[in-house]
Amino acid sequence: MKRALAILIITLASAGCASRSVRVAMRPPADYRGGESVSGSACGLLLWGIIPAGCNSRTERAYQSALAGRSGGLTDTEIQYSWYAIPFLGYWLCTGIQGRVVP
- Torsion angle of C-alpha atoms 48, 49, 53, 54, degrees rounded to 10: 150
Block mean pLDDT (10 aa), the chain, length 103: 81 66 65 79 88 84 88 82 90 91 78
With b for 16 or more beta-carbon neighbours within 10 A and e for fewer, the 18-53 pattern comes to eeeeeebbeeeeeeeeebeebebbbbbbbeeeeebe
pLDDT, residue 95, reads: 92
Closest CA to 91 of 42, 41, 40, 52: 52
Maximum pairwise Cα distance, the chain:
65
Q: What are the residue boundaries of the structural domains of the chain, listed by start?
A: 35-103
